[in-house]
Amino acid sequence: MTTPLTVGVEEEFLLLDPVTGENVPAGPAVLGALPAHLREHSRAEFRHSMIEMVTPVCTTLAEVGEHLGRHRRAAAEAAEEAGCRLVAAGATPVGEPRLTVSDNPRYRAIAAHYGPIVADPAVCGCHIHVGVPDRETAIQVGNHLRVWLPVVQALSVNSPFAAGADTGHASWRSMQLERWPTLGPPPRFAGKEDFDQMVGLLVGSGAMLDESLVLWHCRPSSTYPTVEVRVTDVCLTAEDTVLLTGLVRALVATALADLAAGLPAPDVPGTVLRAASWNAAHSGLDGTLLDPVALRPRPAWELVGNLLTAVTPALAQQGDLDAVETALDRLRAEGTGARRQRELFARTGSLPGVLTELAHRTRG
């Protein structure tokens, strides 16, 4: 087994009223109620009704799972102290009475620049970082990853409800984010100079407020020596997040091997990838997905099988193959977070009842 690539995970969570299910602006109170040793692994987020928990750098999926579980339990307890519930859902399920942004100069600047786009209710994602040698490598790895990101997105869908009703989409978060100008499938870049030139052009045009607003589904991190995959909804359970972490790390390891072998990245047009991403957000795994290489719709689980086949050597090398195969079997039996939410609603007929159960599953 080769030395595993390092990984780190950021999870964003909603804070909801236990009775109404509406978003509660309790972020500062929840962060303040966390145990002191976990505050360094927490962050205030764009909305007062959100918090983010961040793992340290890990080398095994078991480590990732331990940190995720510990952070979720502590954050859930802190939320209860603040009179609300911590819920892992990708989009605001009921409503957000207070739409002001957190008191942060950067967030205020974003709100001033983008105007009413910022008035959408809170959305929560999961960002997975995988360590790479340098920024140039991160960009080249991104070229190889981009064709697989819609499948990763479909595995993670966890936001079917908004404004108190089923939206008909598996990831309403993804649909909400469509209005942001620099969010979506990443372009294919020749290298670092090409990337920097594109970012400079987008900043100059006003589409990006500054260089930090590179919001593509995959990007070289602006903070760490990592590739950051940010296409996914926050997952309902820590086990789901661990599965995605294993697959993303294997995709990066596979890309690194392809780069070392001189294999080119698939040259798939951005328009095709955007269509595949929309399809993934709409249907999740409960239907067909657009195969961006074969250019035709295929059963979703066939594409998941293709993904697993492509990364199996890397999973074996990282020591993750058995864990990922078992987790995929579980996901196939239980369904995505979106399907589980809909099944809960079908049984209870009550969205507040669904949110109560989601809080239990978030905590673990």
Q: What is the pLDDT of residues 103-116, one digit of tens each?
A: 889 999 999 999 99
pLDDT score for 1: 59
CB 216 within 8 A of CB 182: yes
pLDDT score for 102: 87
Mean residue pLDDT of the chain comes to 96
pLDDT interval class at 332 (50, 70, 90)? very high
Q: Which CATH number fits domain 7-363: 3.30.590.20, 3.40.720.10, 3.40.50.720, 3.40.50.11810?
A: 3.30.590.20
pLDDT score for 3: 86
Task: Please state which of the ranges 141-145, 211-215, 315-319 shows the lowest mean pLDDT.
Answer: 211-215
- Residue matched to tokens 């910022």: 118
CB 140 within 8 A of CB 252: no
User: What pTM value is reported for the model?
Assistant: 0.97
The pLDDT of residue 182 is above 90: no
Percent of the chain clearing pLDDT 90 (strictly above)? 92
For residue 120, the SS3 value is coil
Q: Give the pLDDT mean for 13-38.
A: 97
Q: Give the pLDDT mean for 94-105.
A: 91
pLDDT score for 223: 85
Alpha-helical runs (H) found in 4-51: 27-33, 36-39
- Rounded to an integer, what distance in angstroms lies between the CA atom of residue 3 and that of residue 96? 45
Provide the strand spans (E) within the chain.
7-16, 42-44, 50-54, 85-87, 125-131, 161-162, 165-166, 218-220, 226-233, 288-291, 296-299
- Residue matched to tokens 């070289």: 220
Q: Give the pLDDT mean for 269-287.
A: 97
- Provide the b/e sequence for 176-210 (b: ≥16 CB within 10 Å): bbeebebbbbbebbeebeebeeebeebbeeeebbe
- Residue matched to tokens 């090409």: 194
